Structure 1
Amino acid sequence: MTATDAVLVLEDGRTFRGEAYGAIGATFGEAVFATGMTGYQETLTDPSYRGQVVVMTAPHIGNTGVNDEDPESSRIWVSGYVVRDPARRVSNWRAVRSLDDELAAQGVVGISGIDTRALTRHLRERGAMRVGIFSGEAAEQDAGALLAQVLESPEMKGANLVGDVTTAETYVVPAIGERRFRVAAVDLGIKSMTPHRMAERGIETHVVPAGISLPELLELEPDGVFFSNGPGDPAAADAAVELARGLLERRVPVFGICFGNQMLGRALGFGTYKLKYGHRGINQPVQDRLTGKVEVTAHNHGFAVDAPLDRVSDTPFGRVEVSHVCLNDGVVEGLRCLDVPAFSVQYHPEAAAGPHDAAYLFDRFVELMRDEHGRSVELMQAEKGGAPAVNESTEGGA
């Protein structure tokens, strides 16, 4: 079988030639690299990768094929896929088809057989940038024509992509066992493992569209609200920021991850900025500043919250501190509100396909909702002139 030629063209003119992988044609997006050696199926189906061409730094991709159990959403979201040495055959008992076939079936244009190490080094030095992959007839154009198409493609900065990935209608993921809490999860690009992790903790999750209004959300009477991961520039997602502000004003417990961390950050009054090449992969070291513990975590973000690391900040909603920090580059990886029930992290505690160091954050969310519920009960009792709270009645007792 004769291989089909393909070419990758970066917006600065750097070009790599290889062979077509997946669908034949042309595609455009932001060139980013992911460092995970496993979990490529979860990466491909993560809605946060909408609009991005993913370069895999691990050289051998496709060994375990594709199955129907591990996808994080209903489709592949990456705009394009770049690998060095694709597997010649699938070797896994759960595989039902090859990765190459799956990419082709979903129309994802890719390229293989190029020096992904050189490409990654280039992106680390120059930063994430626009890219085009061309194969078949599309690759037969001259270099100038290919570059012109790349330069005409949209940039990630300023892109509002949440509407492309959010659910059209609310759906419910029931709790496993007895229901302890009801959570409204604002779908900014949610992965399926997230409501599953909450279900394991007795949480009934109502996954709601990103465009839901505050009154509509409050009609669900949630014990807490979760803001998911998602794609695009956080500076363009004003609706989710306003929703978060309304929840903070009403002291509804809030937990955000990844894009949701940026939404909470903006709601608190912090800015956001674009990282040079972002954090993507499953081996990012993050320190929990509350405990001092270092976690190995899964990331996919090209933007970050601009909050001070050296002090507690005063915001319209009280005091806020940076709770987590990346040990590679000092980027803010989490926020904790000290006067309202809200916190967030810039990474993925659901972490399919691992690591699982950050799974405890879902337990913190449970504790936050439990504590806020207890506080509300105490306030209601005080307003009605009822019995004092247990902790008050036992002070000074035998």
Structure 2
Amino acid sequence: MARIPSSPGTPPSPGTPPLPRAFSSPRTPFSPAFWRSPLRGPWFTSVLGVVLLGGITVLFLTGLLSYAAYNPDLSSVNDKTPDKGILGFYLFSWPTDPHWLYRLNQGVHVTLGITLIPVLLAKLWSVVPKLFTLPPARSLAHALERISLLLLVGGGVFEFVTGVLNVQLDYIFPGSFYPLHFYGAWVFFAAFVAHAVLKMPMALRNLRQLREEKSKLVAPNPAEPTMSRRGALWFVGGGSLLLFATTVGQNFDGPLRRTALLAPHGGAEPGSGPAAFQINKTAAYARIDPSETSEDAWRLVVTGRGGTVRLSRTELSRLPLYSSALPIACVEGWSTSDQWWRGVRLRDLAALVGYDDDPPDVFVESLQRRGAFRRAALRANQVADPRSLLALYVNGEDLTPDHGHPARIIVPAAPGVVNTKWVARMTFGDL
């Protein structure tokens, strides 16, 4: 290879052949000589690609299951993504067993997504020269490949950014998180599958290579290395491990929760006593008026085919009460361990308004004035489960205002947002 001048102003020594044009002007990203890192190459990119292949597949599947857990096909009030059409083919009645199902699913989804961020960034860095190749399209097939690459890169960045914003900042991105993340996931995963099908044979071949093949990813005029490619992989892996260690603790109570420095519900438990477990929406945030939740003012309105009944909290407490040990698990990935809830079974409330045998779906309305899911719908299988309660107590004490006093829903395996707090009305029947 011809010797490269030490600087643009240093003339080549006598007898040195002229430099190719691509090497003589390495000032723009469109010149191969602009990219000088010796770390880039097919082997490095292939290792990252294989990791992402497994990780993103798990992310996509757990994301679909999380969406199904909201029962978006049950009623329009739960459906945050209208007109999903054939993309809703996988929806089903979300089960109530095992009772920790949503806690596990969403914990994996969010923790894995954050853990993969360094791998995704390293992968994008490793292939960035390909984004600046000229001409942009040499043929129709090459143009289609370039479009799929654009969708892959853009979709990946969009999904990770919106996901992190939803977890960390209660979602500040313009528009509703649910349809944006849902449709973005399908676009990204379609491009991801197409890319994997096209590139996986080459990636596996690159992993078996002892030497780098000739590739546009290999710098034609590499700079002096500061670390090996394996060292770079250890660096990326260390970043992922650090993010994992500072996120996963949000899925546990006690000392481990304090390690969740990057999680919105990390840190110590909020206060002490029976009600000292994590809270998503406080009574103040939801704009709950204390005068509406007093014993004298509050009444639960229950409606069904047999009519309507109105019950005070005292009257509810005189009905048969049952206990369930269930966690709270949120879409943001955090969860609590099992808490002891005590209250009236949902199927018993259904029986009060004419459904003695097969309890139907129920539409639940809250007193909250701010925040998503002020109303939520539950399926018949969730109502029928004997562990599903309108809870009045938790861990042996009255519910606190932040945990939903005077009464809240608690259902096995359901996302936290459909475990409605500050319940005001329940309507049983076909929705």
TM surpasses 0.5: no
Q: Per residue, is there more helix in 1 or in 2?
A: 2
Q: Per residue, is there more strand in 1 or in 2?
A: 1
* Structure ID, larger Rg: 2
Higher RCO (CA < 8 A, seq sep 6+): 2
TM-score of the two chains, using structure 1 as the length reference: 0.25
TM-score of the two chains, using structure 2 as the length reference: 0.24
